Amino acid sequence: MTEHNHTGQRLEIGTPSGPPPSVSRACRDPQRWGRVAPDGTVYAHTAEGERVVGSWQAGTAEEGLAHFARRFDDLLTEAELLQTRLNSGVGDPKQTLSRVRTLREELAEPTVVGDLAGLTALLDHLQRHAQESLAGAKATREQARTRATARKEALVEEAEQIGAESTQWKAGGDRLRTILDEWKTIRGVDRKTDEALWRRFSKARDTFARRRGAHFAELDRQRAGARNRKEELVIEAEKLADSTDWAATSGRFRSLMAEWKSTGRASKEADDALWQRFRAAQERFFSRRSATFAARDSQWEQKMMRKEELVAAAERIDPAGDVEAARSQLRGIQQRWESVGKVPRERVRELENRLRAVEERIRSAANTQGRQAEGESHARVAQFRERVRQYEARAAKARAAGDDRRATTAQAQADQWREWLAAAEQALTSR
């Protein structure tokens, strides 16, 4: 069986042992329960005998007896209504008990005619029922109070943990508001306990609010510092945007970008605006560099084509006939090669290797021809030396024969060949 407390909460109450006693209504048979004496005295029948309950002078004895029977039935009706309300759970056991006690007091000096013993038994039953209901309701309220207290303690502990530890500022704030909403719905905690728990909960909320405020104050400070540093980076980037020192400036922009990423964020609005300026400066520099490199690449392509033509011309030189002419042609090509200008080393390396191959080919041809000329010189020296020997022999023979004229002529020829021999030897040694 259930009843509702003053807050509307349903409370379980006890059900009395046994059914309520049956009580007969007096109006159905008033004479069974009393009588009116000729002098108007009204008596009620009880187990102990007749009992005076009043006096009737206003009409007949039957009318008087019916009047006192109706008064009994009114009491019975009230008692039965109390029983019905108590059984249905809508009656207040405390109020029921109070009313039962009032009815019992009225029966102590009855002014009605009817089943007084039965009504007394019914009131006894109602009293026990109400007392049991009060005890059950009290136990239920204690249980509800215990559950409510435990729930608020759990909420306080959760709030204290959030207040002391949580760094999930939005989620933590939302949860504390949810806890507060639930807190307001919990009833039944005794006032002293409730106030103590509320103080703990309020302190936890204040602690969280202070920590959150300190966090965002520090975050604002960091954002202000990040904004100041990023403004400095932007100013430097804008100064570098028109630089033509491509390599050094490219490296500096990479350093600026790395520092930008490590600096942290300013407020979203400031960060976005500063990033747009930084990005614009960066793009202006790299766009200019790309345009310059594109123009230079075009020039390099033209130079490469010219150098390829020169290498092809060098490769057509034939040193087999005239080495000196071949050398002269190569020198002319090399001069034009230098006048073309520089191109990236990695791109011209193959052409340089081909040009060196032509140089080596001409050098090899020159070495071959030199060796041939040296052999011819040695042969000429030997020939000159033999002629000197021959003419000196003729001169000696002529002098021995006493032919001075022939001796002088032969000696002059020998001297001439000796001069030629010396010149040939000199030419050979100077190679």
Please report the pLDDT score of residue 373 as a whole number: 56
**DSSP letters for 151-182:** HHHHHHHHHHHHHHH---HHHHHHHHHHHHHH
In degrees, to the nearest 5, what angle opens at C-alpha 100 toward C-alphas 99 and 102? Answer: 65
Q: Mean pLDDT in runs of 10 for the chain (431 residues)? A: 42 56 88 93 92 91 93 93 88 88 90 93 91 83 89 93 92 94 92 94 93 90 88 89 90 90 85 90 90 80 82 80 80 84 75 80 73 64 80 85 84 84 72 55
Give the Cα separation of 255 and 257 in Å (integer). 5
**Cα–Cα distance measured from residue 202 to residue 164, given in angstroms and rounded to the nearest whole number:** 13
Determine the angle formed by the axes of helices 61-88 and 116-165, rounding to 10 degrees.
20
Instruction: Produce one character per residue of 143-162: b if its CB has 16 or more CB atoms within 10 Å, e if not.
Output: ebeeebbeebeebbeebbeb
CA gyration radius for the chain?
68
Question: What are the C-alpha distances in Å from 281 to residues 207, 234, 251?
Answer: 46, 8, 15
**Phi/psi class of residue 264: alpha, beta or left (left: φ > 0; alpha: ψ in -120 to 50)?**
left
Would you tell me the crossing angle of helices 93-108 and 61-88 to the nearest 10 degrees?
A: 160
Residue among 346, 338, 344, 328 nearest 307 (CA): 338
Tokens for 323, please give them: 């080495």
Quick one: how far is CA 411 from the chain centroid? Answer: 115
Distance (Å, whole) CA 252 – CA 275: 17
Question: Among candidates 277, 11, 288, which has minimal Cα distance to 140?
Answer: 11
CA–CA separation, 243 and 422 (whole Å): 72
Length of the chain: 431
3-class secondary-structure state, position 1: coil
Give percent helix, percent strand, percent coil of the chain, each to the nearest 5. Answer: 75, 5, 15
Output the pLDDT for position 375.
60
Q: Is 57 helix (H, G, I), strand (E, B) or coil?
A: coil
Mean pLDDT of the chain: 85
pTM of the model: 0.46
Q: Is the dihedral of CA 302, 305, 311, 313 positive or negative?
A: negative
Tell me what pLDDT residue 369 has: 63
